[in-house]
Structure 1
Amino acid sequence: MNMKLNPGWLGVVGFCMALSVQAQEVPTDFTTQVPLSLSGEGPWYRLSLPLDVQLSARQTDLGDVRVFNGNGEAQAYSLAREQAPDGDEGVLNEVKWFPLYDSADARDGVPGVRVQSSANGTLVEVQPSSQLEAGEEVLRGWLLDASAIKAPLQQLILDWTSERDGFQRFSIEASDDLQRWHGWGEGQVARLSFADERVEQHEVALPGQRARYLRLLWQAPETAPALTSVQLKSASSSAVSQPLVWSGPLSGSRLRYGEYTWQLPMGLRVERVEVELGEANSLAPVTLEGRRETSLPWQTLSSGLLYRLTQNGQDVVQNQLQVPGHVVQQLKLTVDERGGGLGAEAPKVRYAVRSTQLVFLARGAGPYTLALGNATVKAANLPLATLIPDYRPERLTTLGQASVDGGVAVTQATELAPSAALATNWKKIGLWAVLLLSVVFLAAMAFSLLRKPPAKS
């Protein structure tokens, strides 16, 4: 059967396609628009989303994030978060540790060592690089062998002999070859007598990166203790975690004496909380709880000892709690008041989440704009393996860089007025009406052609 479409029907179909194009997303569909600047080699560009920009989203999973070019055309993009799912408590690993000795007067420098290792990099022996006389050697710190752990390191857990009570402060460095070392910050552990009880802090948070070896150097060499146990908690996944990004100070409220709460702007996978300790000589055993919304029960996230104490004219501060990365929007801190409490007003807190990397394929002319803030749109991100052919995780660091132009200032677009929202709805309703009408017309045309008697030969 030979069927020909009437030009009138073709006009209806073309009109429907035009309406479909007009209904595509545009930057003004989103409440927040942030200009971007590009550097490096494209066409793929990687953007670390600042936390205050993320908080402008209307969807917890960032499903309303978009990138537009200078013509207002949406760009193909992917989100790389690589964060542990809820309930991932990590894996505890027992590791070997080796003492680092140096002469008593060598306070500034790093102890020189001779290292013997096996073929796979496991340490067998660590000795001082020069022979020290009896009485000259001082224990400066410890070298930890993490070569058997292939996943990112999240936490260091130490125990030490009882004659070294009080605070232990040390620097943490990481290396893969025992030659080049890079800093991982400072660690603090403590064992104190408190209100007829023993208060102990054994855990130190690590940045969630991989390393074969860790070096711990005590700031005051004569106080380095003899370790009795060393454990490293690693992530269950071997993926390299994104760095942490911190919020600004967040004010809270007091429920009752010793209980404080804070409301986060949206549900977030919080991995660390920092409590402001405004007064010197503060000591507070605490329990931190969280929940997604008011109707749900509180769940314990972490507990520990917070302190700000003055020793030898310097403040010794431990004001952070590591939490497992569950999605929470409310936090509650319960303080053991026997330590003096944290005051009548709720202290300010800061929270940290894993950085989110947005990768997009630049198409068309710039300038490019990041847009977010729409509760109704559907997520449009692609898997990285789809966005970038032959994608490998190590390739992520070689992509061009995108950054928020002019700092992290966010330009809030005017909220859609009721009339504009109504117009958008009418446009969608009209589009569907025309599409349905087109289907009816096409069905009627097909029916009429089928009923038409065949032409006589």
Structure 2
Amino acid sequence: MSSKLSLGWLGAVSLCVALSAVAQDKPGDFKSQAPLTLSGEGPWYRLELPLDVLLQASQADLRDVRVFNAAGEPQAYALARQQAQTREQQNLTEVKWFPLYSSAQAGDSSPSVRVQSGANGTLVEVQPATQLEAGEEVLRGWLLDASGIKAPLQQLLLDWTSERDGFQRFSIEASDDLQHWQSWGDGQVARLSFADERIEQHEVALPGQSARYLRLLWNTPQSAPVLTSAQLQSSSTSSLPSPLVWSQPLRGTSAKAGEYTWQLPMGLNVERVRIDLKEANTLAPATLYGRRDSSLPWQTLNNGLLYRLTQNGQDVQQNELQVPGQTVQQLKLTVDERGGGLGGEAPTLAFAVRGTQLVFLARGAGPYTLALGNPSAVAANLPLTTLIPDYSPQRLKELGQAKVEGATPLTPATATAAAGAVAAGPDWKKIGLWAVLLLGVLALAGMAVSLLRKPAAKS
């Protein structure tokens, strides 16, 4: 009996979940709305959410943001926090090369050399370790000086005299001290002529690691060509700061000298703050604290030296502090008064949060409206890879763009819309859904009573 009851309750819960999924959000459920203008090619559109728009949300994680079409139907959407970007830069560098000789009797063994290098490790001279008689020396390969390149090596480009046409095969080894060598595999270049056609291959891929020196040893002794050019392509990756969205300056309060507090409009993941230093020649060692509400203790976010100094007739200032990105709604700055302080009146403070993009799939007729401000809304955003089946970072940049219209776009949902909804009469669809739910619960209750009245089976 308990098993049947459990199944019945499970069915009721499933029915509730299904009914909740059917019920859709309506524009009137949200406090603030703003029209959107679209440009570019759809059906996906990307919207950079301004900070004044974000502050209209009722929940810090933006679970109450929606986009509606002209019929009031919610659109499928995804939220994307803008991350720090990386930039790859490739450089092609001419390098010095030095011949590696050995005796004809040495065979395939690596030639021993005596080197002379500068103070920074740059090679000046490379000579055989033992003196070779005239006619005994055999060119085995080349030593490349890459000590001036501080980035991973991606490609080797060689050129050589025309006396050595055909395929040129060699091994590649890398070292930082000219004593210990690591194999980087084999390389091959070629120069082929046939009738009036000419085919050349000068590039050899490298493993993308750093090394100060490269040693190229030809597989067959006495087959090494005379080089006329050696170049190394390297790549370096640099991080670009993550895009931040700055607020308007906030006024603060000061309860005592050297202590200033600010109240943010809502709990936000603050990444940076900027203090307005009004007076020249201000010097203030400071510590920044934060918390979510007044019932919690202050937590140290960062400390540093704030200053605004006049040098050579120009202002030089450091008025920003980085914040670890945790959610705060109150900020406090304490200043060491021995540096002169910031005055009795609290300075204004601007804060920055990481930019957020909203991507939506336009369905139905426009115009489209952005809506925020519903404390009871549940998260409805999809992952980007679900919203855009062939998603890639490059694909995201190519989407059409949406913008919030006007300088002060967001306006509260008007009472007129609500009154119109009431005049239109009751929502029979919602009433019908609740009626079905009620009948399901009554049927479940009847089944439970029937099972309880049934006499227990005799053993």
The TM-score range, normalised by the shorter chain, is 0.5 to 0.7
Tell me the amino acid that sits aligned with residue 352 of structure 1.
A
User: Are 2:160 and 1:120 equivalent residues in the alignment?
Assistant: no
How many residue pairs match? The answer is: 296
User: Are 2:29 and 1:29 equivalent residues in the alignment?
Assistant: yes
CA RMSD of aligned residues (A): 4.1
Q: Which position in structure 1 is the counterpart of 2:305?
A: 305
Counterpart contact for 2:33–2:370, Cα < 8 Å: yes
CA-CA distance at 1:178 after TM superposition: 9.9
In 2 relative to 1, CA 284–24 (structure 1 residues): closer, same or farther, beyond 3 Å?
A: same
Q: Percent identity of the aligned residues?
A: 62
Q: What secondary structure sits across from 1:272 in the alignment?
A: strand
Counterpart contact for 2:290–2:299, Cα < 8 Å: yes
Question: In the TM superposition, what whole-angstrom CA distance separates every residue of 1:378-413 from its partner, at most 9, and x where no partner exists?
Answer: 111011111010222332111111111224532222
Tell me the amino acid that sits aligned with residue 401 of structure 2.
Q
Q: Which position in structure 1 is the counterpart of 2:322?
A: 322
CA-CA distance at 1:27 after TM superposition: 1.2
Counterpart contact for 1:57–1:64, Cα < 8 Å: yes
Counterpart contact for 2:33–2:411, Cα < 8 Å: yes
TM-score w.r.t. the length of structure 2 is 0.57
Counterpart contact for 2:151–2:234, Cα < 8 Å: no
How many Å separate the matches in 1 of 2:445 and 2:257? 75
Q: Which position in structure 2 is the counterpart of 1:76?
A: 76
Question: In the TM superposition, what whole-angstrom CA distance separates every residue of 1:29-63 from its partner, at most 9, and x where no partner exists?
Answer: 11110111111111111101000000000011101
In 2 relative to 1, CA 365–118 (structure 1 residues): closer, same or farther, beyond 3 Å?
A: same
Q: Which position in structure 1 is the counterpart of 2:436?
A: 435
Structure 1 residue ranges (4+ consecutive) displaced by more than 3 angstroms after TM superposition: 19-23, 114-119, 414-433, 440-447
Tell me the amino acid that sits aligned with residue 439 of structure 1.
G
Within-5 A mapping of 1:272-351:
272-351=272-351
Q: Which position in structure 2 is the counterpart of 1:62?
A: 62
CA-CA distance at 1:116 after TM superposition: 4.1
Q: Which position in structure 1 is the counterpart of 2:378?
A: 378
Question: In the TM superposition, what whole-angstrom CA distance separates every residue of 1:130-170 from its partner, at most 9, and x where no partner exists?
Answer: xxxxxxxxxxxxxxxxx99xxxxxxxxxxxxxxxxxxxxxx
> Which protein is bigger by CA-based radius of gyration?
2
How many Å separate the matches in 2 of 1:298 and 1:441? 53
Within-5 A mapping of 1:234-273:
242-273=242-273
Counterpart contact for 1:26–1:73, Cα < 8 Å: yes
CA-CA distance at 1:359 after TM superposition: 0.4
Q: Which position in structure 2 is the counterpart of 1:198?
A: none
Within-5 A mapping of 1:413-452:
413-414=413-414, 430=431, 433-439=434-440
How many Å separate the matches in 1 of 2:419 and 2:70? 27
How many Å separate the matches in 2 of 1:333 and 1:350? 13
TM-score w.r.t. the length of structure 1 is 0.57
Q: Which position in structure 1 is the counterpart of 2:52?
A: 52
How many Å separate the matches in 2 of 1:327 and 1:422? 39
How many Å separate the matches in 2 of 1:286 and 1:33? 40
CA-CA distance at 1:436 after TM superposition: 2.5
Q: Which position in structure 2 is the counterpart of 1:212?
A: 237
CA-CA distance at 1:442 after TM superposition: 7.3
In 2 relative to 1, CA 435–297 (structure 1 residues): closer, same or farther, beyond 3 Å?
A: same
In 2 relative to 1, CA 321–329 (structure 1 residues): closer, same or farther, beyond 3 Å?
A: same
Question: In the TM superposition, what whole-angstrom CA distance separates every residue of 1:211-270 from its partner, at most 9, and x where no partner exists?
Answer: 725xxxxxxxxxxxxxxxxxxxx7xxxxx8751000000011112110111110111010
How many Å separate the matches in 1 of 2:368 and 2:361? 11
Question: In the TM superposition, what whole-angstrom CA distance separates every residue of 1:294-324 from its partner, at most 9, and x where no partner exists?
Answer: 1111111111011111111111111000111
CA-CA distance at 1:117 after TM superposition: 5.7
Q: Gaps spanning 5+ residues in structure 2: where?
A: 1-15, 85-119, 121-146, 156-207, 210-232, 449-459
